[in-house]
Amino acid sequence: MLDIKFIRENSEKVKENIKKKFQDEKLAKVDEIVEKDKEYRELLQESEKLRHERNKISSDISQSKKEGKDVNDLLERAKVIPNKIKEIEETQNKLRSEILEILYILPNMIHESVPIGKSDKENVEKERIGTPKKFEFEVKSHVEVAENLGVVDFDISAKTSGNGFYFLKGKLGLLNMALINFARDFMVEHGYEYVEPPLMIRKEILQGVYSNEEIDAMSYKIEGEDLYLIATSEHPLIGMFIGKTLRKEDLPIKITGFSACFRKEIGSHGIDEKGLYRTHQFNKQEMVVICEPKDSYKFYDEMLKLTKELFKKLELPIREFECCSGDLADLKAKSCDLEAWSPRKNEYFEITSLTNMEEAQARRLNIKILDGGDKYFAHTLNNTVIATSRAMVAILENNQNEDGTVNVPQVLQKYMNGLKVIGKK
């Protein structure tokens, strides 16, 4: 969320930013919010003048009574002022709500390094790490590999829960837990505090991290309560700090959290009818940083480096893909994805996403920094450490053998009691 003062003083920059995001339908909103802000401030001045006048009249009445003068005219004037102030405050409250509504839909200012493009088709490849393996046999999809090994069941889960769910069985379930434990230990070793958050969250927090459209499309609502199932642990992790003023000397705050995640996934991409790639429920390890504004891109680079290092240890071919302006959600100032290689589809697919929100998220959640006598908004960043379902897709496909077995990445073997190969039951 942008600062109204910034919009007031930089309306043309805000419009140019909107054009770079190809959201021209929002251009008129800039002029609208500037006009509403002007009206609001004028009313504020008017109400202050009326309060000053009310105080002066009260003083005049008191003085006139002491002097034995007639105060009827002063009393009549004093009666009118409260109603005028009330009318102005009602208009102010209406304007405040309308201004906030516009602030929630105006996109954050994108970082100068973000490539300009209309959609994800214009995202920019930055780096490839690892070389895809050449297979001497016909490569199977992760669904075929897992079903042939008897370590997953999509048919039963469709009956118990519907499409977009799965039963992990035997060694694939153990592989899932191995990935969780490996990611946890990796992040703790790199100085991130481990936190397990609640799996439900209030709308107040969601509105600090999502638009209303995203809430409707992604979040499962708990009937009859102000609670939603979380779509990622990032939301409750950053929500821990709502309304807080943090001391500069206590920064940066670096936390990592594991949780199950729940997503409706309403949209053009839909849900996998059978598979682990896009599902309603999955497990994810997340990392979150709250820091000084001047340090946020230093931590952006650190978080990206950590995720690359983790997937290097898993020995999976990956690439870094930077998001262009048109592919950035409105709160994002800069973002990139890591993608893993799918030998079955002969293409890369998204496995992690890194974002710098700068102060936009902190402004919505009112997370500030105290530096001496100064207060200002923090910068917040988040990044997927690992989504285990997508990591399993990459492992099942890239590590499959001709006999249908799957090699366990060496770094995970100690978490699976030394198991090196996933074979049939």
Q: Could you tell me if residue 178 is inside a domain? A: yes
pLDDT at 70: 77
Q: Could you tell me if residue 414 is inside a domain? A: yes
Q: Alpha helices, DSSP H only, in 265-377? A: 296-313, 360-365
pLDDT at 269: 63
Tokens encoding 21: 């995001």
Considering 82, 105, 128, which residue would you say is the last residue of a domain? 105
Clarify whether residues 251 and 355 are in a common domain: yes
Q: Could you tell me if residue 33 is inside a domain? A: yes
Q: What does the buried/exposed string (b/e) look like for 241-269 if buried means 16 or more CB atoms within 10 Å of the residue's CB? A: beeeebeeeebbbbbbbbbebbbbbeeee
**CA distances (Å), 303 to each of 237, 254, 256, 257, 310, in order?**
16, 10, 11, 14, 11
pLDDT at 226: 94
Clarify whether residues 163 and 261 are in a common domain: yes
Clarify whether residues 56 and 200 are in a common domain: no
Determine the distance from the C-alpha atom of residue 97 to the mean position of all C-alpha atoms in its chain, rounded to a whole number: 24
Clarify whether residues 281 and 393 are in a common domain: yes
Pairing of strands 281-291, 253-262: antiparallel
- Cα–Cα distance for residue pair 204/264, rounded to 1 Å: 19
Clarify whether residues 52 and 195 are in a common domain: no
pLDDT tens, residue by residue, 33-75: 999 999 999 999 988 888 887 888 777 777 777 777 777 777 7
Pairing of strands 368-371, 245-247: parallel
DSSP 172-226: HHHHHHHHHHHHHHHHHHTTPEEE---SEE-HHHHHHHS-HHHHHHHPPBPTTSS
Q: Could you tell me if residue 371 is inside a domain? A: yes
Clarify whether residues 260 and 333 are in a common domain: yes
Q: Taking the CB of residue 351, how many other CB atoms lie within 10 A of it?
A: 22
Q: Could you tell me if residue 111 is inside a domain? A: no
- Cα–Cα distance for residue pair 413/406, rounded to 1 Å: 12
Considering 105, 140, 169, which residue would you say is the last residue of a domain? 105
Q: Do 200 and 229 touch, CB atoms closer than 8 A?
A: yes
Considering 49, 71, 105, which residue would you say is the last residue of a domain? 105
> Any residues with CB less than 8 A from the CB of 186 and at least 6 apart, and which?
306, 310, 313, 385
Clarify whether residues 384 and 237 are in a common domain: yes
Q: Could you tell me if residue 135 is inside a domain? A: yes
The structural domain count of the chain equals 2
Q: Could you tell me if residue 274 is inside a domain? A: yes
Q: Do 117 and 327 touch, CB atoms closer than 8 A?
A: yes
pLDDT at 116: 97
- Pick the closest to residue 98 from 15, 26, 156, 32 (CA basis): 32
Pairing of strands 334-342, 318-322: antiparallel
Q: Could you tell me if residue 110 is inside a domain? A: no
Clarify whether residues 176 and 133 are in a common domain: yes
Name the β-bridge partners of 355. 335, 382
Q: Do 347 and 317 touch, CB atoms closer than 8 A?
A: no
Pairing of strands 152-153, 347-358: unpaired
Tokens encoding 14: 């805000």
Clarify whether residues 305 and 206 are in a common domain: yes
What is the CATH classification number for the domain harbouring 235?
3.30.930.10
What is the CATH classification number for the domain harbouring 93?
1.10.287.40
Domain residues for the domain of 205 are: 120-422
Clarify whether residues 94 and 128 are in a common domain: no
Clarify whether residues 191 and 228 are in a common domain: yes
- Ranges of residues in the chain with a pLDDT under 70 are 266-272
Clarify whether residues 80 and 166 are in a common domain: no
pLDDT at 357: 96
